[in-house]
Structure 1
Amino acid sequence: MQVYEIQDQKIPVTILTGFLGAGKTTLLNYILTERHGHRIAVIENEFGEIDVDSDLVLASDEEIFQMKNGCICCFVDVRNDLIQVMKKLLAQKDRFDHVIVETSGLADPTPVATSFFIDPEVTEAVLLDAIVTLVDAKHFGQHLHDKQLDGRENQAVDQVVAADRIIVNKTDLVSEAELDALDADLRELNQTAEILRAQYGKVDLDAILGISGFTPSYVEERAKLLDLDGAHGHHHNHSHDPSVSSVSFTFDRPFDQDRLMAFLKRHLAENAENAFRTKGILWMEGDERFFVLQAVHELIDLRPDHPWRADERRESRIVFIGRQLDRPALEAELRACLSPLEVAA
């Protein structure tokens, strides 16, 4: 991948967005481990009270910053926190030459983008390079036509409308005819963004980094979409679907893997439409490795990762994001899957 010149020595910022389960973390890992010549700082935002995403990002030499106090598209104080994180980064800007802001899966990226126009110090130092939106090829149509979002803003749609680049991910899960139909749906929402196709988040990085989507001539064209005047006044009327929530659990005993998988398959099959996203870092009985859980609707991927470090606390953290979540019932089911053995954490 070619290394591009930074306009006026400003640091380019890429906003990486996409609905729950689209593959943002997979793409981020791909970016961080590819030989592209960049030194990248990452700002993450987590939806849920337990941080799982940062542990899913592979170890690298990059700077990783987490924002755990809310969705950065929704609250003025949290968006101000994003600006403060940027200022801390700028104090050590010799250590990186590109910033990626990974939003939560429920974020509208346009208010996030305005954050880079409202503070003079940040505006002088960074260049908003692009909004890159990932789309889950198998499930996007389900979110696009979600009747329960009728009358509210649909985050999956917001993310596509705002995009400078759209990556249709998980193309191996659908047919060519389904991909063509999806392209048509995306074109109705966004007529100008380049649409790329990917499996496992692998995409030509030249197509998503250093594309100068917010150069001065481009900003004027997109000003209405970004509502820059409103951003200066800190007006933001966006609200998430109130029926969507996250439920998080931490356990200091290992799981019985067979019982846990049986429960997850049954639970996600019975609640496929409402179970948007399930993810976790899990401790399994009789295994020295930690396991990574990723699920999108009823599709489950559970696989071992690296061995636990000697100084690392062994525990399981699991997050469910969806609609009509029953916390007591989920907790009871999960506890029934724990090993009966008393094992010191």
Structure 2
Amino acid sequence: MQKKGKFDYILLETTGLADPGAVASMFWVDAELGSDIYLDGIVTVVDSKYGLKHLAEEKAGGLINEATRQVALADLIIINKTDLVPEEDLSQLRTAIRYRIMNGSINGLGKILETQRSRVDLSNVLDLHAFDGLSGISLQKKLQYVSATQPHLDQNIITVTFEAPGNAKEESLNVFIQNLLWEKNVRNKDGHCMEVIRLKGLVSIKDRAQQVIVQGVHELYDLEETPVSWDDDAQRTNRLVFIGKNLDKDVLKQLFMATVTETGKQRTTHSKEGQVCP
């Protein structure tokens, strides 16, 4: 702390029980206020010996356990201490996490690394650009490989993704996101409240030449232009990924089509004013 001038990079380590979303939101707000510090990404370290146990932990009232929430919010997942467990146990953990990642049951966008004693190449950890416009370049490719997960209406966190053609009106897009993150009045077909803890996607905004990345963590979200322009002769397509609980792909897509795209209707039966989810 005695170094004069600016720091090159800050790595903030939280406790094993911390909610990374709350910490991320704090730095995200600072960036919007003109701070020199900006949020680069979220890294979650999974213990090889106890990882499966922590991910499977059940909490009272159907609450999301800390380990699952940390994996769901991560831009990078590091499986650590791989040398301290038998290969069979490591294989089970590896298979479980990769299954959940690749099939979108927790986090369809997270990258996985395996290591011992947390030794990783810093180029894989620093400069992730997961929360700024530069991430739109790599996000375009990632979204093509995220599974279009079918809804599982239970207590587990899953990833839901869909595509929708057309241009979004920015005002209507804000209303759609605010109903999900702020008003919390969106329910699935069974009447359960949808809880979105991470939102990411690329959208086409009417009268904008650049692709726009949308990011959301808990109640905070942001729209930012990327360096990538839409091709003049290509059809514009919106690609969105939601990570959360009780998510319903059909309902989310219906809401998006009804309130955002220019050809959609302006009403839906799945969100009602004044009916806030507990």
TM (norm. structure 2) is 0.45
Structure number with larger C-alpha Rg: 1
